[in-house]
Homo-oligomer: A and B are copies of this chain.
Amino acid sequence: MAKRVTALDVAKTAGVSRTTVSFVLNNVEGMRISDETRKRVLKVASELNYYPDATAQRMAKGKTSIIGFVLRQEPDKAYADLFLPEVMRGISDIANEKGYHVLFTPIPPDENNKGFHKLIHERQADGLIISGPLAEDDELVQLYEDGAPVVLMGKLANASIPHVDVDNIESAKMAVSHLIKLGHKQIAMVTNASRKYTSCRDRLEGYKAALEEANIPFNEKYVVIGDRTPESGHHAMQSMLYLSPRPTALFIASDTVALGCMNALYQNGIRVPEDVAIVGFDDIPLSKFIAPPLSTIHLPAYGLGWGAANLLVQWLEEKQIPTHEVILETELIVRESCGAFMKGNIE
């Protein structure tokens, strides 16, 4: 590879000092530089194909202009979740706009090395977006309390770390209430993730709240743990087939998991929505394309990524902790899997 062109080379060729080059290229205010020199410097820089060295810039400026996106899940699960790509798109868009780069880093929850600390203390990134925090995560809280710019997607129970989230409780309740309104009483739930994640706990709580409101007794046997993948949904469903009475409706707190559930039903000749009604959660891009199209709770995936990145950048630029909580709206999307459009039902 050709030798690097430095600012000094530009300065020499243009017959000015390094400083002047820096001023021109960075458009420093107040420094009135003759139009002629300015033009000459710009011309030379372009001719020499000069690009400032990012590392040196970081060194001098004391900031990396990198935001880290941390996935707090086992890699196989992190990547199976079809929710992820849209989130990344949201993050990328803001980063792009504000001149940041995105470092992508999966850190499994069981890793005992100090993954977060390392990222921040080594200055790999100026700040972190943490996706899917555990309900308890001391290391994370510690990091925040040390003053590190950390923003969450999802929330942490007992800490006021800035975060972007949806109202998981209310959204889950909305889904289940819809099923109740359609006349169902035996409503089971498959969770989106293991119980150690906040999002799982909250959606479960919403499920319970809806039942309670309708005076339907809660039955522990009607709750099965799904864990982010279609495979886990398939498993969950299998175990539910032998329940008696068999549920007439399912609230599945993740569309990705729901795919696996529906597959298990398909294999067993159980029809959706005729034999069992389903409402999912997330509204992943392909929910509308599967057969039958999935009724679900729409989550603003792009918005979550966008919002988290925005919060973080704000923090970094203004050097003070931004709004602590941003809650985005969700929406019930009625398609076919819940049976609302079947003959006999209104609408």
Closest CB in chain B relative to A145 CB, distance in Å: 10
Closest CB in chain B relative to A315 CB, distance in Å: 12
Closest CB in chain B relative to A28 CB, distance in Å: 19
- Given A56-B59, A79-B85, A263-B293, is A286 in contact with B2 using a C-beta cutoff of 8 Å? no
A30 in the interface (beta carbon within 8 A): no
A146-157: CB near B (< 8 Å → 1, else 0) gives 111000000000
Q: Is the CB of B289 within 8 A of A230?
A: yes
- Given A79-B85, A121-B49, A290-B290, is A1 in contact with B262 using a C-beta cutoff of 8 Å? no
Residue on B nearest A66 in the bound complex, by CB: B103
A101 in the interface (beta carbon within 8 A): yes
A285 in the interface (beta carbon within 8 A): yes
Stretch from A18-26, A87-95, A167-175, A209-217 that touches the partner: A87-95
List the interface of chain A (C-beta within 8 A of B): 1-2, 49, 51-56, 58-59, 64, 66, 69, 75-76, 78-80, 82, 84-86, 88-89, 92-93, 101-106, 117-118, 121-124, 146-148, 229-230, 234, 256, 259-260, 262-263, 266, 285-286, 288-293
Q: 11 more A-B contacts (CB under 8 A) besides A49-B121, A52-B122, A82-B85? A: A53-B122, A79-B86, A79-B89, A102-B105, A103-B103, A104-B104, A230-B289, A256-B286, A259-B290, A262-B291, A263-B293
- Given A55-B58, A101-B124, A289-B260, is A1 in contact with B75 using a C-beta cutoff of 8 Å? no
Residue on B nearest A265 in the bound complex, by CB: B291
| Residue of A58, A85, A118 with most partner-chain B CB within 10 A | A85
Q: Is the CB of A104 within 8 A of B122?
A: no
Residue on B nearest A259 in the bound complex, by CB: B289
- Given A103-B103, A289-B263, is A51 in contact with B86 using a C-beta cutoff of 8 Å? no
* Chain B residue contacts of A285, Cβ below 8 A: 80, 229-230
A75 vs B95: C-alpha distance when bound (angstroms): 13
Closest CB in chain B relative to A232 CB, distance in Å: 11
* Chain B residue contacts of A291, Cβ below 8 A: 262-263, 266, 290-291
Q: Is the CB of B76 within 8 A of A80?
A: no
Q: Is the CB of B92 within 8 A of A85?
A: no
Q: Is the CB of A55 within 8 A of B51?
A: no
A293 vs B123: C-alpha distance when bound (angstroms): 46
28 A-B pairs with C-beta separation under 8 A? A1-B147, A1-B148, A2-B146, A2-B147, A51-B117, A52-B122, A54-B64, A54-B122, A56-B59, A66-B103, A69-B104, A75-B93, A79-B88, A79-B89, A80-B285, A92-B105, A101-B103, A102-B104, A103-B104, A104-B104, A230-B286, A259-B286, A259-B289, A259-B290, A262-B289, A263-B289, A290-B291, A291-B291
Closest CB in chain B relative to A304 CB, distance in Å: 14
A49 vs B59: C-alpha distance when bound (angstroms): 21
A208 vs B232: C-alpha distance when bound (angstroms): 40
| Residue of A55, A118, A260, A288 with most partner-chain B CB within 10 A | A55
Q: Is the CB of B122 within 8 A of A51?
A: yes
A11 vs B76: C-alpha distance when bound (angstroms): 42
Closest CB in chain B relative to A225 CB, distance in Å: 18
Residue on B nearest A260 in the bound complex, by CB: B289
Closest CB in chain B relative to A192 CB, distance in Å: 16
A229 vs B288: C-alpha distance when bound (angstroms): 13
